[in-house]
Amino acid sequence: MSRLFGTDGVRGMANADLTPELALSLAAAAARVLAEHDTTHRPVAVVGRDSRASGEMLEAAVTAGLTAAGADVLRLGVLPTPAVAFLVAELDADLGVMISASHNPMPDNGIKFFAKGGLKLSDELEDEIEARLGRTSGRPTGAGVGRVTDVPDAVNRYIDHLLVSTPHDLHGLKIVVDCANGAAATAAPQAYRRAGAEVIAIHAEPNGLNINDGVGSTHLDVLQAAVLEHGADLGIAHDGDADRCLAVDGTGAEVDGDQIMAVLALALKDAGELKDDTLVATVMSNLGLHLAMKDYGVRLLTTAVGDRYVVEELRAGGYSLGGEQSGHVILPSHATTGDGLLTALRLMARVAATGKPLNELAGVMRRLPQVLINVRVADKAAVAAAETVSQAVAEVTAELGETGRVLLRPSGTEQLVRVMVEAPSQDEAHGAATRLAEVVSAVG
């Protein structure tokens, strides 16, 4: 039987895979596990959601499950995932529940949990929750049933926290923010205006059905056009739950997560706040980031793909900054998880503080052309162990030398092998990736 929890909670098509019954059972199991781990008091859980229509249904189910298991619920309404993580600690709750499928299309939804302090649950706790699904014995009655309280100032509490974490005001900046018709629709424009920027908000009118619909961080073309149309200094793009941030500079060019990390790393280094002059990223970060950080005296540590692995490395070493090319950026001094609004504020603060345009700041890193080919195979483990594949990778790696990079990675969820090549030119990257993909396909 496959594990219910994925790399970021439980996801699926709402009311088909992710049903109200499953949501109720998950929430009740989580509350029971927490109660068993700490018997000193009645558990308190905060519950938030993004703007999907199905979130209303799942919020009701999650709330019912938590209260039926004896936990009190603080209902936050629609707000970003990182706001839920922050409010777990701010409100001294024992558990956080965010109902969102992030950048996935509207029919999907998901449930992710945060432990006390706002940290993502460990694999062990997720396994405990999964093992408790469907057990209904020992339900409380009478005064033992949990109570529900709304938190009307949840968004303002979160914005106040963001502004305290922003090192420079944004007066003089004109920005466009694409809210993806999602959880950032209220919080992002308010936060950026309160920080001093002139803000043009687009896709900030969620109706329950239009979240991520051709907009947001996975569709930057609309933001690029808006930045040029309004003559803005830069643009910010969020995904549906606003835990990631990508940007567009004043020329309309994309600034990805690697470039954002490069800008923030040098800002922290200049301020003497980059612990051990170290940045943490995943193996998918562009070689250009590695080269740029080396040039500026910053050590780059790499982890497996997934922001939870970045967070683990950050916590283990006490480091100050980490993230992913996709725009998940973690600043552990201010957040326990990727926070798109915090990332955007820190990026814009660097622009305002230096007086330099974003394209100049991001120019410290040159993105090498990158080609990724997904090869469907019968046995990804056999392909990964094949000598012919190893030889082919060694040959291409030798040809590229220090000017390029090869990464073969079996998919974590499908019978696929991902072939990624970076090289000085697009043609070189494409040629090398195609050669390797043919070897992988022949073996698989």
Partners of 99 in beta bridges: 49, 111
Q: With beta carbons less than 8 A apart as the criterion, state whether 43 and 72 touch.
A: yes
Each residue's pLDDT tens digit, 198-222: 999 999 999 999 999 999 999 999 9
Q: Are strands 44-49 and 95-99 parallel, antiparallel or unpaired?
A: parallel
Give the three-class secondary structure for 378: coil
Domain 157-362 has CATH 3.40.120.10: yes
Q: Name the catalytic one among 25, 54, 102, 285.
A: 102
Q: Where in the chain is the domain with CATH 3.30.310.50?
A: 370-443
Q: Where in the chain is the domain with CATH 3.40.120.10?
A: 10-152, 157-362
Measured from the Cβ of residue 89, the count of other Cβ atoms closer than 10 Å reads: 17
Which tokens belong to 88? 């777990």
Residue whose tokens read 């993502």: 120
DSSP at 122: P
Distance from C-alpha of 371 to C-alpha of 434, rounded to nearest angstrom = 9
pLDDT tens per residue across span 140-184: 999 999 999 999 999 999 999 999 999 999 999 999 999 999 999
Cβ atoms of residues 31 and 43 within 8 Å: yes
Active site residue 137: no
Give the CATH fold of the 10-152 domain: Alpha-D-Glucose-1,6-Bisphosphate; Chain A, domain 3 (3.40.120)
CATH architecture of 370-443: 2-Layer Sandwich (3.30)
Residue carrying the six token digits 């800008």? 263
What pLDDT shows up at residue 384? 85
The residue ranges of the chain whose pLDDT is under 50 are 1
Q: How far apart are CA 299 and CA 279, in angstroms?
A: 6
Nearest to 176 by CA among 388, 6, 344, 382: 344
Question: For residues 441 and 21, what is the distance between their CA atoms, to the nearest angstrom?
Answer: 42
Furthest-apart CA pair in the chain: how many Å?
Answer: 72
- 255, 366, 427, 439 from 371: Cα distances, Å: 18, 16, 10, 16
